[in-house]
């Protein structure tokens, strides 16, 4: 399947916990971002390729404060998720309504920021999924700036490379290294099916031991 079909399937059939469990089983036990990065609408579910953006705090107004930021957003591709690494900054809101609008029009599937955002009312109205640590209304000019994009970043405590697959829901954000995507999705879909069967049989009155021995999931 192509990327669009893959990400649609992930959003319809998978969830962060089952993907995390699958990565654990493969020995990748540190692929979930910090618990303080959450969707501003808990019903949002996202899956897509990582478009990495690196920002740092500054304490002066640069001559061209938005140069790299504009380049980064204008280079976003369809089915990508912007991964905004701010190094856990609390100085400013890196992400807002206009960046969300530009990315949605380009076909992006969402944004994950390990820092603060603003314009949340407008972002909710736009229905562009954004995950962040919190909100702050101040502009980034003179407080933070994008210095690079399409480079490896550490976001939410997880190393993210351009092209990795990112999945997020109300439970958290999981990063699947690109070389593992096919294997992880196949195993996660199988585990999700076994969990669904387990739930069904529990509701029918079977004991947890009975269904665990049958399906091997908990």
Binding site for Mg(2+): residue ranges? Answer: 119
Report residue 100 as tokens: 């969300």
Q: How many contiguous H segments (helices) and E segments (strands) does the chain have?
A: 7, 13
State how far Cα 71 lies from the chain centre. 21
Alpha carbons 46 and 40: distance in angstroms, whole number = 13
Q: What are phi and psi of 170, to 5 degrees?
A: -65, -20
> Count of alpha carbons within 13 Å of 173, Cβ hemisphere only?
36
Known binding residues are 96-99, 118-119
Alpha carbons 176 and 196: distance in angstroms, whole number = 23
Known binding residues for substrate are 96-99, 118
Nearest in space to 85 (alpha carbons), one of 150, 3, 23, 182: 150
Alpha carbons 29 and 67: distance in angstroms, whole number = 37
Alpha carbons 165 and 97: distance in angstroms, whole number = 24
């Amino acid at each position: 399947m192509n990327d669009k079909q893959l990400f649609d399937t992930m959003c319809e059939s998978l969830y962060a916990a089952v993907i995390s469990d699958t990565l654990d089983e493969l020995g990748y036990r540190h692929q979930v971002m910090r618990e303080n990065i959450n969707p501003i609408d808990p019903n949002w579910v996202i899956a897509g390729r990582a478009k990495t953006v690196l920002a740092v705090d500054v304490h002066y107004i640069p001559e061209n404060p938005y140069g790299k930021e504009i380049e980064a957003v204008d280079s976003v591709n369809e089915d990508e998720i912007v991964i905004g690494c701010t190094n856990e900054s609390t100085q400013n809101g890196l992400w807002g309504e206009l960046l969300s609008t530009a990315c949605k029009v380009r076909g992006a599937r969402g944004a994950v920021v390990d820092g603060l955002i603003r314009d949340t009312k407008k972002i909710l109205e736009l229905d562009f999924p954004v995950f962040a640590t919190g909100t702050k209304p101040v502009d980034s000019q003179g407080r933070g700036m994008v210095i690079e994009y399409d480079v490896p970043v550490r976001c939410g405590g997880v190393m993210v490379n351009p092209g990795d697959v990112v999945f997020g829901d109300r439970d958290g954000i999981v990063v699947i290294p690109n070389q593992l995507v096919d294997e992880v999705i196949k195993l996660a879909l199988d585990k999700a099916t076994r969990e669904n069967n387990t739930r069904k049989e529990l509701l029918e009155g079977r004991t947890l031991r009975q269904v665990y021995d049958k399906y091997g999931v908990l």
